[in-house]
Amino acid sequence: MRNMLALMIGLHMLADYPLQGDFLAKAKNRRVPIPGVPWWQALGAHSIIHGLAVGIVTRRLSLGVAETLIHAWTDDAKCRGRLTYNQDQAIHLTSKVIWAALARREGTPS
């Protein structure tokens, strides 16, 4: 479980910082969208990257989908001013703990 959790956290940091980049960070914000770029497409792309990482690590499509949905909801709430940056990151990291525990319970090798 520790290896799986460490890998998911590392991939989260990769996906939330260098892979997100300035374009997605700005384009996913429905309050201040980039003209001509649908915010929901940018948010969806960013969230799917996170879901893909979780799905690959846990080998559970259901956990990848859950990560995609929760990541999208969390980032949208942050962009809309309903969550702080630290609350956003706490939800993301807590989600990884939950995914690792569920994958372990379901028998995914760690």
For tokens 């001509």, name the residue: 36
Residue 95 near residue 16, CB atoms below 8 Å: no
CB 8 within 8 Å of CB 57? yes
**Helical H segments across 1-110, by residue range:** 2-16, 21-27, 39-58, 61-79, 85-105
Assess if residue 110 is contained within a domain.
Answer: no
Q: Report yes or no on 67 lying in a domain.
A: yes
Q: What single-letter amino acid sits at 33? A: P
Is 84 inside any structural domain? yes
Assess whether pLDDT exceeds 50 at residue 110: no
Domain assignment present for 23: yes
- Residues in contact with 37: Cβ distance below 8 Å, sequence separation at least 6, in sequence order: 27
Residue 98 belongs to a domain: yes
Is there a domain that residue 18 lies in? yes
> What is the total count of domains within the chain?
1
Residue 73's domain spans which residues? 2-105
Instruction: Specify if 96 maps to a domain.
Output: yes
> Does residue 62 lie within any of the structural domains?
yes
- Of 75, 90, 94, the closest CA to residue 24 belongs to 75
Residue 109 confidence class, pLDDT cut points 50, 70, 90: low
pLDDT tens digit string along 37-87? 999 999 999 999 999 999 999 999 999 999 999 999 999 999 999 999 999
